[in-house]
Structure formats: C-alpha cells, structure tokens
C-alpha cells in the first residue's frame, strides 16, 4: 500500500497538479462550477467519492456532502458538509495521492519483522551534493532509530529494505509525481518488493536549509511511512500530512514516539486501542519523565467521568486516567497528551451510547467525540438550549432508559431530551427535591447498571434512581482499583 507525504509548503508552495487547483486567494471570486469541479475530483481521489454512471457527481447528493464532512473532520475544519472558503482553501493545498480517511484513520500499519533495516540511495537530487544527501538521509533515519531502538544500515545494492530515489513524473510505480510544488514525496509501507521504498519528486527544490523544501523534514516524515506509520490528525506530529518549514529540535511528538514503539517496542508504546482513537499516549518512562498523580490518594476526586467507546475516562484538573474495560492497567497523564485539541480541564462529561458519542464540557463550550474522532470545533452550551446565564456545568449524566441527559449546576439540574434535542419543560429543578440525600454540589456523575454514582469530593454516593434514595457510599479512588 502506498503511503504518501501529504505536504503543504506553508510559505512558498503553489498548487498541486494531482487535482484541479486554484490560487487560495482566488477561491471566493471563482465561479461555483469551478469549486464543484475541484471538490468532486478531490473527493473522488482522496475520499472515495463514487462517480455517477453519467460521469458526473451531483453536489446535492448525500454522498457528496458526507465526503466533504469526512475531509473537513480529518483537517479539523467545521464539519458542515458545505464547500465554504476554508474547505476549498485546504483542497487547493499540495498533497499526496492516497485516500485520507480510509487509509489513515485506523490502527497503524504493517511493520518490519526485524530490528536491523537496510537502506540504499539509488538516485540523487540535482539540487544538493551527494554527500549532503547521504548525510541528510542518515539523519532522518536516526530520528526514528533514537526513538525506537531500530538500527539502519546503509547498503550499496538495490536489494535494500528501503530504496531511496529522486525521480520525476511517471517513474514506474503507478503514482506519478506532478511537477514543481505539488506532491513532494511518497513512501511504501513495510513489505517485500517495493515495500519501504521512498521516492522524492526531483522537480522540487530540495535544500538542507530554510529555502525550498527541507529534505530532512520530508525524509523523516516519509521514513515514518516506510516503517509502517500512517498519517496523524495531530498538527504537532511529524506524521501530520502537511509540510511545516520550521520545527523544534526534537522532530518527533510524544504521539510519534509512542506509535513507532507500538509497532517495534510494545513495552514502551501504547496498545492499539489508543492508536485507533488517534490520541497521544502518556509515557511514564525516561523519554518524557513527568510527575504522576497518586491515584490512590485518600482525597482523590474527579471533575468529570464518562464512557468513551470501551473505556472509562476520569478527569481531574488537566489530568486524565483511562481505564480500559477489558484490561486491568490504567493509562494516565495530562489530557493534552491524549487529546491534543483540548488544552483545558474538563468540568463535565457524558456518553450517549446510541450515538456512540461523548460530550466533554469545559466552561461554556463542549467538544464532541464520535466513534474514534473528535468532531469539528468546540460548540457553545447554548446548543443544548440553556439560557445565556448558564456558563458552566458541574456534572452531567445520560440515562439510557429515559433518553434524558441530566445537567447539574450547583443546587439545580436540567433534563435534556436527547430524542427531541430540547430541554424538558419545567426545568431547572432543585437537586435536593428530586434526589433526596444528595444535598451538595456534585463534582461528577456516572450511570452504571441502573444506578447513578454522584462524585462529591473524595466520596461517591450510589443512588438508586428508581427508588429515589442513596444505597451506599464509596471512595472515588476505589474506581481506579485502590
């Protein structure tokens, strides 16, 4: 399977010839048919939009809109399904010729079943001296060697695991390059034959500095593919599909390090569950030493907790514990390590099983996590029908049997009808009146096996919702196995 570098030249790149392109500055005044032509070919090539028998794709068709949404979600745009200027601008960016969602949304790919991997440079660019190219290629591979423990050995034969070539246009692999300032490079995943081979478009201007395309940055990205990694939706990741001319001295993000170790050194990596969800892991080893929170502390409390897929997430300040329902170990670390888009704490969270959707609330906004992706941008609480004066939520819990989500705010609570998507009439009501025995502000709430668990500081009240009374008291840390 071909894995390409989807590379955007942030400052100097022009349109990519692999798809109809427009100057981003000219997107708005261009006629609508040009927009439609651009989007149709883009979606057919990268998001498997099916062509109509007549050879035309209707913009009004549900398939077209759904594919636009897929593309918007991948790039973190507002998922409206409409061809707004921001979406069209992304569609004009230089990129690779491989589908995004199907290719890059699942578990990381195949791997080399050995720790010593050979490479060879079959042809060179005209832009740099040969010894410079060799040095840069060695440096790009060493980026992954340091993180994974793999060893790369240069070979002088054409039978190496990773064959590096600088080529132009059609070059024998069914994935032709497109000339200057378009698709920059691509690489094949591990395997026999062309597996691991990495090709650079020699119509680009390759440099070892800031001008043109920095070969080290592109090569390091491509070698990630050659080792089996797929693209990341995290802009901080080296495996993010767009090119950035400047990066920190450490090219790899925590996510990159964990993903390469998940393939080649599982003890230091993370399980496929976290790869599937596209979230950076918590690494407690020497690579990223940070202070762990004592989950068995007597005064431990949670700000929010929720099911997400087949795991339970516990939030405290900007920290997170993840307890997989089928495993005994607990992953933990700063929230941003797992969810790069969230830089704040989480005040409340709830899960709606029939939608396979979780809602994470902070202040007056919330994020939506559906399936394995964080969907679009954060939205205001007013989406649920709250009046303007409601600017935060203490706790939330979804009741599957009634189809209601309960929002707790200080001494009152609201009931949201998930079927009709409106607040129920007659709310808010006092918590103490409808939940006897719960007479204080609730920090977090969770529904399990017919009971609501109210987290109040380090204590947890087990509440029988049908009988309307507290039937037991636990400690919060007991939920983390303490």
Tell me the CATH number at 61: 1.10.101.10
> Considering the domain boundaries, does residue 438 fall inside one?
yes
> Considering the domain boundaries, does residue 183 fall inside one?
no
**Residue 17 banded pLDDT, cuts 50, 70, 90:** very low
Report the CATH number that the domain containing residue 345 is assigned in CATH. Answer: 2.110.10.10
Residues found in the chain = 482
> Considering the domain boundaries, does residue 331 fall inside one?
yes
Q: Which of 222, 255, 332, 418 is catalytic?
A: 222
Between 250 and 111, where is the model more confident? Answer: 111
Cα separation, 168 vs 179, in Å, equals 7
Q: What is residue 266's predicted lDDT score, i.e. its pLDDT?
A: 65
Checking if the pLDDT of 355 tops 70, the result is: yes
**Residue 292 banded pLDDT, cuts 50, 70, 90:** low
Binding-site residue ranges: 96, 127, 161, 171, 173, 178-179, 186, 195, 197, 199, 201-202, 204, 221, 225, 231, 239, 303, 347, 349, 396
> Considering the domain boundaries, does residue 2 fall inside one?
no
End-of-domain residue from the set 63, 92, 121: 92
**Residue 202 banded pLDDT, cuts 50, 70, 90:** very high
End-of-domain residue from the set 53, 68, 92: 92
> Considering the domain boundaries, does residue 319 fall inside one?
yes
Q: What is residue 466's predicted lDDT score, i.e. its pLDDT?
A: 82
Q: Contact, 241 vs 234, CB < 8 A?
A: no
Binding-site residue ranges for Ca(2+): 127, 161, 178-179, 195, 197, 201-202, 204, 303, 347, 349, 396
Checking if the pLDDT of 7 tops 60, the result is: no
- When pLDDT is averaged across residues 17-37 and rounded to a whole number, the result is 51
Specify whether 51 is catalytic.
Answer: no
User: What's the pLDDT tens digit per position in 186-196?
Assistant: 888 888 878 88
> Considering the domain boundaries, does residue 136 fall inside one?
no
Checking if the pLDDT of 19 tops 70, the result is: no
Checking if the pLDDT of 101 tops 70, the result is: no
Q: What is the mean pLDDT of the chain?
A: 78
Q: Contact, 349 vs 396, CB < 8 A?
A: yes
Checking if the pLDDT of 373 tops 70, the result is: no
**Residue 105 banded pLDDT, cuts 50, 70, 90:** very low
Binding-site residue ranges for Zn(2+): 96, 171, 173, 186, 199, 221, 225, 231, 239
| Overall number of domains in the chain | 2
Residue that the structure tokens 């390090």 belong to: 257
End-of-domain residue from the set 92, 115, 147: 92
Give the chain as a 3 state SS string.
CEEEECCCCCCCCCCCCCCCCCCHHHCCCCCHHHHHHHHHHHHHHHCCCCCCCCCCCCCCCHHHHHHHHHHHHHCCCCCCCCCCHHHHHHHCCCCCCCCCHHHHCCCCCCCCCCCEEEEEECCCCCCCCHHHHHHHHHHHHHHHHHHHCCEEEECCCCCCCEEEEEECCCCCCCCCCCCCCCCCEEEECCCCCCCCCEEEECCCCEECCCCCEEHHHHHHHHHHHHCCCCCCCCCCCCCCCCCCCCCCCCCCCHHHHHHHHHHHCCCCCCCHHHHHCCCCCCCCCCCCCCCCCCCCCCCCCCCEEEEECCEEEEEECCEEEEEECCCCCEEEEEHHHHCCCCCCCCCEEEEEHHHCEEEEEECCEEEEEECCEEEEEEEEHHHHCCCCCCCCCCEEEEECCCCEEEEEECCEEEEEECCCCEECCCCCEEHHHHCCCCCCCCCEEEEECCEEEEEECCEEEEEECCCCEEEEEEEHHHHHCC
> Considering the domain boundaries, does residue 222 fall inside one?
no
Between 319 and 104, where is the model more confident? Answer: 319
Domain span at 391: 304-480
> Considering the domain boundaries, does residue 161 fall inside one?
no
**Residue 328 banded pLDDT, cuts 50, 70, 90:** low
């Amino acid at each position: 399977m071909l894995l390409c570098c989807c590379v955007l030249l942030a400052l100097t790149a022009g349109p990519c010839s692999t798809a109809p392109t427009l100057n981003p500055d000219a997107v708005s005044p261009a006629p609508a048919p040009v927009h439609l032509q651009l989007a149709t070919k883009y979606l057919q090539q990268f998001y498997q939009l099916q062509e109509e028998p007549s050879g035309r794709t209707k913009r009004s068709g549900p398939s077209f809109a759904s594919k636009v949404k897929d593309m918007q979600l991948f790039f973190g745009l507002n998922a409206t399904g409409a061809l707004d200027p921001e979406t069209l601008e992304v569609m004009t960016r230089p990129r690779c010729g491989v589908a995004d969602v199907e290719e890059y949304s699942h578990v990381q790919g195949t791997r080399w079943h050995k720790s010593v991997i050979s490479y060879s440079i079959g042809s060179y660019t005209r832009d740099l001296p040969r010894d410079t190219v060799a040095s840069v290629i060695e440096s790009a591979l060493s980026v992954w060697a340091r993180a994974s423990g793999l060893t790369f050995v240069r070979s002088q034969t054409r039978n190496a695991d990773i064959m590096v070539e600088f080529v132009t246009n059609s070059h024998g692999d069914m994935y032709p390059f497109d000339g200057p300032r378009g698709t920059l490079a691509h690489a094949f995943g591990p395997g026999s034959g062309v597996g691991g081979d990495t090709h650079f478009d020699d119509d680009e201007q390759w440099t070892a500095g800031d001008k043109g395309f920095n070969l080290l940055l592109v090569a390091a990205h491509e070698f990630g593919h050659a080792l089996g990694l797929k693209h990341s939706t995290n802009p901080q990741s080296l495996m993010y599909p767009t090119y950035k001319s400047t990066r920190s001295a450490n090219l790899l993000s925590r996510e990159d390090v964990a993903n390469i170790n998940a393939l080649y050194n599982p003890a230091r990596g993370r399980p496929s569950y976290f790869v599937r969800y596209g979230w950076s892991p918590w690494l407690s080893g020497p690579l990223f030493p940070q202070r762990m929170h004592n989950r068995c502390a007597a005064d431990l409390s949670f700000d929010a907790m929720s099911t997400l897929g087949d795991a339970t997430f516990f939030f405290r300040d900007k920290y997170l514990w993840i307890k997989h329902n089928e495993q005994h170990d607990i992953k933990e670390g700063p929230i941003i390590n797992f969810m790069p888009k969230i830089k704040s704490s989480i005040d409340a969270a709830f899960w709606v099983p029939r939608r396979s959707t979780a809602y994470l609330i902070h202040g007056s906004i919330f994020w939506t996590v559906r399936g394995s992706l964080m969907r679009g941008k954060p939205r205001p609480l007013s989406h649920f029908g709250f009046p303007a004066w409601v600017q935060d939520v203490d706790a939330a819990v979804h009741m599957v049997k009634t189809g209601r989500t309960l929002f707790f705010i200080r001494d009152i609570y609201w009931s949201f009808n998930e079927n009709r998507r409106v607040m129920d009439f007659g709310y808010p009501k006092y918590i103490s009146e409808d939940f006897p025995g719960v007479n204080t502000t609730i920090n977090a709430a969770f529904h399990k096996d017919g009971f609501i668990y109210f987290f109040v500081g380090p204590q947890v009240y087990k509440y029988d919702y049908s009988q309307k009374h507290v039937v037991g008291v636990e400690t919060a840390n007991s939920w983390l196995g303490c």
